[in-house]
Structure 1
Amino acid sequence: MRRLDHQNIVQLKYFFFSSGDKLKEEVYLNLVLEYVPETVYRVARHYTKQKQTIPLLYVKLYMYQLFRALAYIHSFGICHRDIKPQNLLLDPETSVLKLCDFGSAKQLIKDVWSSGCVLAELLLGQPIFPGESGVDQLVEIIKVLGTPSREQIRQMNPNYQEFRFPQIKAHPWHKVFRNRTPPMAIDLVCRLLDYTPATRLTPLEACAHAFFDELRDPDTRLPNGPLPPLFNFSQQEININPTLNSRLIPAHLHGQQTVTTSGNVISSTNSTPINASATGVNTTGTSNVNEKSITPTNHTTNTPPPSVLPTTNMNGPDEDNLDEQTTSGDSLNKDRS
């Protein structure tokens, strides 16, 4: 975490070691993290209780920042492996999202599938693939995506090539989501939730997707003020895939980008650098707060029609172990794309 310096990743302020209360030979690593008061999970739950979904602009804003954070950590060869709404911290005043909880982080594998599940959950108002176990989840995934081909199984996990799956046709994506779901949102989901890891979008490619074009519109504003900084790319980000830069940087900012002495890129219309200052610290990166101020400010929505699908967790077919599950039931997938 000391290597990571990005506005969409919770900041490590300090760390120290301590011994156990009962067994002195036990040593604990304690992390002091930037204080961020809310989570996407609590915001989504608030809307669910009101039988509503998060306004689409906020879905775009949260997911864009998540993909930007993932692109950044993946550029270091780091995978989070536990992407879920509970690990997406929010500042309700600025709508800045910060990725936290790197306890499951590994090298070389990616988080794209899990992010697709988060996007689908925010659009549906509930998780997309239900299941109490790995097998239950896999059944729900097949109900939507259809039975994976032998080649898809080989690319996910060669050890399962001889496993016999029930032959089920894919469910049309437009029937999975509500009628009012934008086609670009559905297109992005299906490009993320692909059995074949190599054909899924990368996080930076996801940022460049047309679903996020509204964020690149200079006239787009939140009900309580301007959007948070979204295009202040660091040199590390600029170098990830230079062919995408013309799509990532809005047309009205072309030619207005400058690199600061710290390696941050800022625009002349928004001089906020990529390093965000913290409002406080705690030991978990989250906090217990009252229900007030957890919703996007001054934004009303209509009650959506009921969803087509029931509920599930974040992660899908596991390329490491198709039967693996955690005690919380939300880490079945470890992407290699």
Structure 2
Amino acid sequence: MGLLEAASEFKGAGPSSGPDRAGEWVFSPEAAGGKVTTVVATPGQGPDRPQEVSYTDIKVIGNGSFGVVYQARLIDSQEMVAIKKVLQDKRFKNRELQIMRKLDHCNIVRLRYFFYSSGEKKDEVYLNLVLDFVPETVYRVARHFNKAKTTIPIIYVKVYMYQLFRSLAYIHSQGVCHRDIKPQNLLVDPETAILKLCDFGSAKQLVRGEPNVSYICSRYYRAPELIFGATDYTSNIDIWSAGCVLAELLLGQPIFPGDSGVDQLVEIIKVLGTPTREQIREMNPNYTEFKFPQIKAHPWTKVFKPRTPPEAISLCSRLLEYTPVTRLSPLEACAHAFFDELRQPSTRLPSGRDLPLLFNFSPVELSIQPQLNSTLIPPHARAQTSPASHGTYERYPTPCPTTLLCLILVLSFIFSSGVDILKYSHL
């Protein structure tokens, strides 16, 4: 999410208007060598009690439109942390900071401290979020297996997706929608297989009746209601994105690629078929009068490789639904049969290590859908609570060229997107 777009949805006063401002960097990290940096920072959780925090070994590990991410080592504990530095508009409070301060879950990257620093330009202020450092992402893990011309072992798919759904259940119970679920935002420790959801730069506390921007979420993972321009969407957009992540891990490639909204809708319709008028109404009532060419749904079993576990296909089909309210809730997904193996006491990681803690549900989690608790917590784990074969497969076939071209023309008209029809001249 770009800084200008993010700022357009921010509300409230900026850091310079009150006691939120917690400290300044004593020097710029770009100039860091082996020096020790000491700042006055506020703890991420709990009372606002600024304290000195010192760190060293600073290096850039990521950057983008949001700002820069550094890796550093805390002097006191010798732990590695990530420091996300973003330009702060003084007129507004930072939504990412406000959300992260209220979140506390084992599958969400933890905000340890935050502080402000001055930029090179006059009156330029940066917000610095000191976060847990986790070395890998699901994206890089999957890419590693893809380069080896294999797919990620199914046990990892189960462990990663289960933890993702736990994190979503928690944030949704707090009224927060992440709005950018994708493999790059799923941090993983390759040794323990612990997953932590990160990057709440696009996240928002959704309030019924208040409009939201529809151009949110990264391409390939955008729910159809977003592509249709809905502004009254719910946290079910995160469920669609999670379904896309699951499908991608099973396929070894994105399930709904596309360079535009039209491209992506075409790919979605090739799998799910043309949405009914009622489904379109549920996504965005403004489009119910349009006549869409009829394309039949493609069988889910033919979308995936032949030896894909049936339970995985079943779960995908329950997540990737046109109608937002019919998608599984995060905890319903956790209770799905696809994850039954994780509930067996003998299950281990391929390395022989124990699974990460999967059933240490908090009272908050247990109160979300209590009717599921007996399924979610296997008997052996009650104390925790306070390779697929590859082979060839056929990608789903292209529907009738004439019908597909009609669909593309209708979608192009709806979105006035100026889609280059010549790119489909091979149909």
> TM-score w.r.t. structure 2 length?
0.61
SS of the equivalent of 2:292 reads coil
1:52 and 1:302 in contact (8 A); partners too: no
| Larger RCO, structures 1/2 (Cα 8 Å, 6+ apart) | 1
Query: For residue 380 of structure 2, what is the aligned residue in structure 1?
Result: 252
- Return the match for 1:75 from 162, 173, 176: 173
Deviations 1:234-289 (A, max 9, x none): 111011110000000013335x466xxxxxx2xxxxxxxxxxxxxxxxxxxxxxxx
Secondary structure of 2:240's partner? helix
> C-alpha separation between the residues in 2 aligned to 1:46 and 1:197?
33
For 1:196 and 1:73, the matched residues in 2 are separated by 21
Q: How do residues 155-304 of structure 1 correspond to structure 2 at under 5 angstroms?
A: 155-224=282-351, 225-254=353-382, 256=383, 265=386, 303-304=390-391
Instruction: Please tell me whether the aligned partners of residues 271 and 396 of structure 2 are also in contact (alpha carbons under 8 angstroms).
Output: no
Q: What is residue 252 of structure 2 aligned with on the other side?
A: 125
Match of 2:269 in 1: 142
CA distance in 2, matches of 1:234, 1:252: 17
- Contact residue 361 and residue 384 of structure 2 kept, 8 A: no
Q: Secondary structure at the match of 1:227?
A: coil
- 1:178 maps to amino acid: K
Task: Write 1 or 2 for the structure with the bigger share of strand.
Answer: 2
Say whether 1:18 aligns with 2:153: no
The secondary structure found in structure 1 opposite 2:112 is strand
Match runs of 1:40-51 below 5 Å? 40-51=138-149
Note the 1:58-69 alignment, pairs <5 A: 58-69=156-167
What TM-score do the two structures reach when normalised by structure 1?
0.77
Q: In the alignment, which of 387, 392, 395 is matched to residue 308 of structure 1?
A: 395
Q: Between Structure 1 and Structure 2, which shows a larger proportion of helix residues?
A: 2
Contact 1:116 1:189 in 2 (8 A): yes
CA contact (8 A) 1:8 1:96 kept: yes
Kindly state the Cα deviation for residue 136 of structure 1 after the two structures are TM-superposed.
0.5
When residues 130 and 12 of structure 1 are mapped into structure 2, their CA distance, relative to the original with a 3 A threshold, is same
Q: Which amino acid aligns with 1:226?
A: D
Structure 1, gaps ≥5 residues long? 259-264, 266-299, 311-321, 326-337
Aligned length: 272
> Sequence identity, in percent?
73
- C-alpha change, 1:257 and 1:11, in structure 2 (3 Å) is closer
1:5 equivalent to 2:132? Answer no
Deviation of 1:67 after TM superposition, in Å, equals 0.2
Misfit runs of 4+, over 6 Å: none
